[in-house]
Amino acid sequence: MSVAGYQKSVPLHAYVAGVRDGDRAMLARAITLIESSRGEHVALAEELLQCLLPLTCNAIRVGITGVPGAGKSTAIDQLGINLIEQGHRVAVLAVDPTSTRSGGSILADKTRMARLAQSKSAFIRPSPTSGTLGGVARKTRETMALVEAAGFDVVLVETVGVGQSEFAVAGMVDFFLVLLLAGGGDEFQGIKRGIIEIADMIAITKADGDNSARAMKAASIYQGALAILTPTSPNWTPPVLTTSAQENRGLDELWACILEHRRIMQASGEFAARRGAQAVDWMRTLLQERLERVLRTDAEVQNRVQGLENEVRAGRLTPALAAGQLAALMGVR
C-alpha cells in the first residue's frame, strides 16, 4: 500500500491514542502525516494537533547550532545519553539539508548519534529541509508538538549550520545554544555577529588534549564579545563554557545552565510570554503557507498570476498594482 493510502486508512483516534501512548511507530507515522502536503492529510493533521494540544507545553526545547566541524551530532549524542541516565526522554529533530540540484538529503544523523539511536528513551527524526528558506524543515514546529505529546520531555533541534536557519529555530525554542571551535587565531571565523547576539549560551567544543588551552582562550574571547552586546533578555547573561563530548566534560554544567535559564525565565514571566509569541508566529506562518498553497493550486489564481507576471515583465503594470489585483482576487484587502 502506498504511503498516501496508508495514511488515509488510519483514523484520527488511532493517531491520538498511539502518540499519547508513546507508540514509536505511530509517532513516526503521525510525523509523516503532518509533513504531507495532500489536502486530506493536512486536514487530518490539523485535527490531530488540536487533540494533542494540551500535552505539548511541558518539554524543554533547545535549539543547537554550530560552525562546520564543531561536533554538533557528537555533542548531542553524549548530552542525550547523560539526560537519559537522569531519567529524561529525549527527542532529537535533526534538520538535514536538501540538495537544490538533486532534491536529495543525507539523513544520516542516526548513524552520527549511534548510542542515542539505540536507546528506547530517545527518538531521532532526521527531516529534509526540502528547500525551505533558512534550512528549517517545513513542519518542525508540528513535529516538536507531536514528540512532546508522546512524552519526550527534552526536545533538541539541530540545525543545518550557521545561517538563516538559526534565527528561525531560535524563534521556536526556549534556549538557543551555539557550538564553536577554537583555533585559527580568528575566533570569529565562520560565525556571524547576529548569531552570537541571539545565543543564550556559547559552548567551545573539543576542549580536550592539546586543544584545551586554545578552547579556554577562545572562551575568554567570546565572553568578552558578549559583554559588549545587548543580551536577548535583561534577566540572563549568556555564559561561555568549554566542553568535550569525547571525555564527557562540561555537558553537565551546560545542562545546569539550561535549567537555570528556564527557572529565571519562568520566574520573570518571560517564559510564558515567549511561548505565547511563538504560538502566534506559528499561526502567521501557517496562514502564509495557506495563501501560498492557493497560489500554487487554484487554477484561476494561477492563470491570473501568469498574466500579471507577463504584464509586470513587459513594463505595462507596476509590481504594486499587480500585487494588489492578485490580493483582491484572493479576497485579501
Do 41 and 139 belong to one domain?
no
CA distances, 32 to each of 10, 44, 125, 153, 285 (Å): 12, 12, 10, 21, 20
65 and 49 part of one domain: no
For the stretch 24-64, pLDDT in tens is 999 999 999 998 878 789 889 999 999 999 999 889 999 99
DSSP line for 55-104: GSSSSEEEEEEE-TTS-HHHHHHHHHHHHHHTT--EEEEEEEPB-TTT--
Gap between the Cα atoms of 200 and 257, Å rounded: 10
217 shares a domain with 95: yes
What's the pLDDT tens digit per position in 63-78?
A: 998 877 888 889 999 9
195, 165 contact by CB (below 8 A): no
- Is the domain of 161 the same as that of 302? no
At 121-170, the pLDDT tens digits run: 999 998 655 544 444 556 889 999 999 999 999 999 998 665 667 788 88
Structure confidence by residue, pLDDT tens digits, 239-293: 999 999 999 999 999 999 999 999 999 999 999 999 999 999 888 888 887 777 7
Q: Is residue 314 one of the residues assigned to a domain? A: yes
Establish if 273 belongs to a structural domain: no
Residues 259 and 176 in one domain: yes
Are 132 and 262 within one domain? yes
Q: Which of 267, 299, 320 is the last residue of a domain?
A: 267
274 belongs to a structural domain: no
Q: How many whole angstroms separate alpha carbon 38 and alpha carbon 242? A: 46
The verdict on 260 and 131 lying in the same domain is yes
Burial 272-292 (b: 16+ CB within 10 A, else e): eebeeebeeeeeeeeeeeeee
Same structural domain, 294 and 147: no
Residues 12 and 156 in one domain: no
Domain co-membership, 178 together with 83 = yes
Structural domain of 8: 1-54
CB atoms within 10 A of CB 293: 13
Structure confidence at residue 109 as a pLDDT band (50, 70, 90) = low
Q: What is the CATH number of the domain that holds 144?
A: 3.40.50.300
The CA distance from 265 to 261, in Å, is 6
Q: What's the number of domains the chain is made of?
A: 3
**Burial grade of 63 (CB within 10 A; 0-12, 13-18, 19 or more):** buried
Cell of 50: 488540536
Residue 176 lies in a domain: yes
The torsion angle over the Cα atoms of residues 230, 236, 242 and 244, rounded to 10 degrees, is -130
Task: Provide the pLDDT for residue 162.
Answer: 53
The CATH code of the domain that includes 48 is 1.20.5.170
Q: At residue 222, does pLDDT exceed 60? A: yes
